[in-house]
Structure 1
Amino acid sequence: MYRRNETVVSEPAWAMGLMWLGLPLAGAGLGWLLQALAGWLAELPWVPFKGPVELIASVADNEPVATIVSLAIGGVAGLVLAFIGAMEALVVRITDGDVTLRRGDSTSMVNRSAVQTVFIDGKQLVLLGREAEELAREGFELGADRLRDGFLAHGYPWAAAGDPYRDKFRRWVPEDPELPGSADALLKARGKALEKGNKTDITELRAELAKLGVVVREEEKRQYWRRTHPTSD
């Protein structure tokens, strides 16, 4: 979408509408199915969300209350998932002077003059600075072509082949003597965060490593690192 010399790349309105409508409907349908199986499921000790299941089972023979309760619980669960999905969706606003990345209540801005190159790494949008440091790395579900076209329209250097410093990365192994300062300890902590799926710690530890001049990326749960200023190696 183009407006006042800016490009905003976000999830299409139809996709967001489908999510807000589809997930509650799917949840309500699942709730209705759950009603039919509630009595049997309530007796199984390993069933998740046992509280809602027992609630539905307790009114299963009381119609239309049972149907209303099951549809309401499923619909609300779908709304919660839709809200989480909306908060996780990335919105990229590109102008000739800066890039703004917004995800839910979190917003960051990168000045155009600081950007050396922009590229896609798997399902992540990456902006590199003048010292080959990462200015931003954000996961996205947006179309890569839309992002590319938006950045090119505003004159940003787009690396079609991907990360120009990819061959500078090396796999992290504990106690690597080439790592500066406390980087090894930070990578150990980040490895644990990756195992647990703790997104907050993963992001914060990436930022701490950046302060030491270390760029980190991962493939599945394996970490790879390089220094900034890679052209001087």
Structure 2
Amino acid sequence: MAARGSGEAVVVSGGAGELVLMWAGFPLLGAGLGAALTAASGWVAGLPWFPFQGWFALLDRWPEERSYPVGAGLAALAGLVLAFMGTRERLTVTVGRTSVRLHRDGHGRDVARAAVTGVFLDGRALVLLDAAGGELARERSDLGPAGLRAAFTGQGWPWVEQDPYGSAYRRWVEGLPGLPAGADALLRARQRAVDAGRGGEAAELRGELARLGVVVRDEGKRQYWRLVAGPPDRDGVRR
């Protein structure tokens, strides 16, 4: 992880080393794994539980001068695909005195310092809270806690070591009372998205729940929820 100044702001990112690791390390690792699997292709093709058995049987029939370049090359290509996906998912956090910019996959959003009453890490997620306890942002990343803490505290932001509302969460069970109208249906739909690994849909439904004044936290595939001071009105203000 790298933290550097940008004028008065501090930028926290994975740094150039992370990019080198992904774009050089992943393809090399893939090529090595592909060569090893090619060498064992005859044995692998005989394992009934192993996927792509037909492919390994084909590699086993080919001469070595053909099978090794193909097997290693395809695995290296898979490593490049992983590097591309990892690069897109990298989060860059630019912390200034009056705002923070959260940038990922070519898109960025700014959160004003005046709206934030708490900043903390919930596992691997960076969370920014408003005065009512709602989440202004929740962004997952591999950025180190020390660098993020130093960046925010150095710029005068209210960093806290743990979620101040941690004890308010309740595990979601379908039909449980206490939720605003419509929230149970959204949580039910979100549970299906979480179970199926549809992260984009789960994030979208998190936003819909936030509009009802419900904050959601995941622990594995289990959802936990709490209420904020009140749902926002038409002007986006909670009463």
Q: Same fold (TM over 0.5)?
A: yes
2:22 paired residue number: 19
1:54 Cα deviation after fit: 4.9
1:83 Cα deviation after fit: 1.3
1:214 paired residue number: 214
Question: How does 1:59-78 map onto structure 2 within 5 Å?
Answer: 59=62, 61=63, 63-78=64-79
1:223 paired residue number: 223
TM-aligned CA distance change 1:54 to 1:10, over 3 Å: farther
1:189 paired residue number: 189
1:92 paired residue number: 93
TM-aligned CA distance change 1:17 to 1:103, over 3 Å: same
Q: Deviations over 1:152-211 (max 9, x none)?
A: 111111112x11111222222211221101000111111121211210111011000001
Whole-angstrom distance in 2 between the partners of 1:194 and 1:209: 15
Whole-angstrom distance in 2 between the partners of 1:15 and 1:90: 12
1:105 Cα deviation after fit: 3.2
Deviates further, 35-44 or 113-122: 35-44
Paired amino acid for 2:9: E
Percent of paired sites with the same residue: 47
1:71 Cα deviation after fit: 2.1
Deviates further, 105-114 or 17-26: 105-114
Give 1:6's match in structure 2, choosing from 6, 9, 20: 9
Gaps of 5+ in 1: none
Whole-angstrom distance in 2 between the partners of 1:114 and 1:21: 41
1:214 Cα deviation after fit: 0.6
| TM-score (ref. length: structure 1) | 0.90
SS in 1 for 2:205: helix
Size of the alignment, in residue pairs? 227
TM-aligned CA distance change 1:229 to 1:79, over 3 Å: same
Paired amino acid for 1:167: S
Whole-angstrom distance in 1 between the partners of 2:15 and 2:177: 47
Paired amino acid for 2:228: T
2:122 paired residue number: 121
Q: What is the RMSD of the two structures over their aligned residues, measured on CA atoms?
A: 1.8
Gaps of 5+ in 2: 231-239
1:29 Cα deviation after fit: 0.6
TM-aligned CA distance change 1:55 to 1:115, over 3 Å: farther
Deviates further, 139-148 or 81-90: 81-90
1:146 Cα deviation after fit: 0.3
SS in 2 for 1:163: coil
SS in 1 for 2:190: helix
1:105 paired residue number: 106
1:119 Cα deviation after fit: 0.7
Deviates further, 124-133 or 49-58: 49-58
1:89 Cα deviation after fit: 1.8
Give 2:35's match in structure 1, choosing from 25, 32, 56: 32
Question: How does 1:137-156 map onto structure 2 within 5 Å?
Answer: 137-156=138-157
Please say if residues 46 and 53 of structure 2, whose CA atoms lie closer than 8 Å, have aligned partners that are also in contact.
no
Whole-angstrom distance in 1 between the partners of 2:52 and 2:98: 49
Whole-angstrom distance in 1 between the partners of 2:54 and 2:157: 53
